[in-house]
């Protein structure tokens, strides 16, 4: 069973699903579409947020439903990191209700996923940076290992700094998963901003220090880089989460008289 929450028009806002659910007889039916559903062509069923009542942006009236794969039009495709995803279309698809007011549950689940992504990203960056240092110590130019070049040593130091900042914020996000919702959401968004910046920076720096070999399919580093690129967009890109942080700091930021 796979979560299918993302929609094209809503981007990553969880309170703006265009997908609608309505009662029909003793059950429910769902009409709408979801995009970039991980492993969507392999799942048996989907957890689908859909609006039952209210307008876009209202927190109330968003239900969670389970929809069987057989009741869904599925368009599969490969993703950049070699995994699979799919777009889904529901046309009065029969659905089983999980919760009629499910936004808080959905937000909690997404925060757990974001903390998991942060931990995965740290692991990927850690391994990619170690591979890069090994390569710099092995590759020779002008008769010496290129790891002796000062410019490359500085770039490694910058990448290591970003990695350690990301590691700390990953721990922070995980430790805050049990906090009250407002505190948890802000902490996870803050961590996700740092992780997004670090994943892009470390990935790009390591590939550039490798040169051409870094982007070949035969080299593991290229696959780490592609996975980091996909993770930087999962459940909201860095700019989206920066907006989330800003929105949650409005009450405490600035000068008060």
Pick the CATH number of 105-248 from 2.60.120.590, 1.20.1740.10, 1.20.140.10, 2.30.130.60: 1.20.140.10
Q: Check if CATH label 3.40.630.40 holds for domain 2-101.
A: no
Percent of the chain with pLDDT over 70: 97
Cα 81 from Cα 6, distance rounded (Å): 19
What pTM did the predictor assign? 0.90
Burial of 153 (0-12, 13-18, 19+ CB in 10 A): middle
Cα 223 from Cα 143, distance rounded (Å): 30
pLDDT of residue 252 exceeding 70, the answer is no
pLDDT digits (tens, 9 = 90+) for 175-210: 999 999 999 999 999 999 999 999 999 999 999 999
Give the residue range(s) of CATH 2.40.110.10 domains in the chain.
2-101
Give the residue range(s) of CATH 1.20.140.10 domains in the chain.
105-248
> Which residue(s) pair with 76 in the sheet?
86
More confident residue, 145 or 112: 112
pLDDT digits (tens, 9 = 90+) for 22-64: 999 889 999 999 999 999 999 999 999 999 998 888 889 999 9
Cα 128 from Cα 199, distance rounded (Å): 11
Cα 9 from Cα 16, distance rounded (Å): 9
Cα 236 from Cα 106, distance rounded (Å): 14
Task: Please name the residue ranges forming H helices in 49-149.
Answer: 103-138
- Write out the DSSP string of 10-32: TBT-TT----EEEEETTEEEEEE
pLDDT digits (tens, 9 = 90+) for 116-148: 999 999 999 999 999 999 999 999 889 898 888
């Amino acid at each position: 069973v796979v979560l299918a929450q993302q929609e094209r028009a809503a981007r990553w806002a969880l309170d703006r699903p265009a997908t609608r659910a309505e009662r029909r007889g003793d059950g429910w039916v769902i009409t709408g579409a979801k995009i970039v559903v991980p492993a969507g062509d392999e799942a048996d069923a989907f957890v689908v947020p859909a609006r039952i009542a209210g307008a876009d942006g209202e927190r109330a009236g968003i239900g969670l439903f389970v929809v069987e794969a057989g009741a869904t039009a599925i368009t599969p495709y490969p993703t950049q990191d070699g995994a699979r995803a799919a777009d889904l279309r529901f046309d009065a698809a029969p659905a089983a209700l999980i919760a009629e007011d499910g936004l808080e549950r959905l937000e909690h689940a997404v925060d757990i996923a974001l903390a998991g992504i942060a931990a995965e990203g740290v692991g990927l960056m850690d391994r990619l940076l170690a591979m890069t240092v090994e390569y710099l110590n092995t590759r020779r130019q002008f008769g010496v290992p290129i790891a002796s070049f000062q410019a490359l040593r500085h770039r490694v130091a910058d990448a290591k700094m970003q990695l350690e900042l990301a590691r700390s914020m990953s721990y922070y996000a995980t430790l805050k998963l049990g906090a009250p919702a407002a505190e948890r959401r802000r902490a996870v968004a803050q961590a996700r901003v740092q992780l997004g910046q670090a994943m892009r920076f470390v990935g790009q720096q390591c590939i550039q220090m490798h040169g051409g070999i870094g982007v070949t399919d035969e080299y593991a580093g290229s696959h780490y880089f592609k996975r980091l690129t996909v993770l930087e967009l999962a459940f909201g890109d860095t700019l989206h989460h920066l907006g989330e942080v800003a929105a949650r700091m409005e009450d405490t930021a600035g000068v008060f008289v």
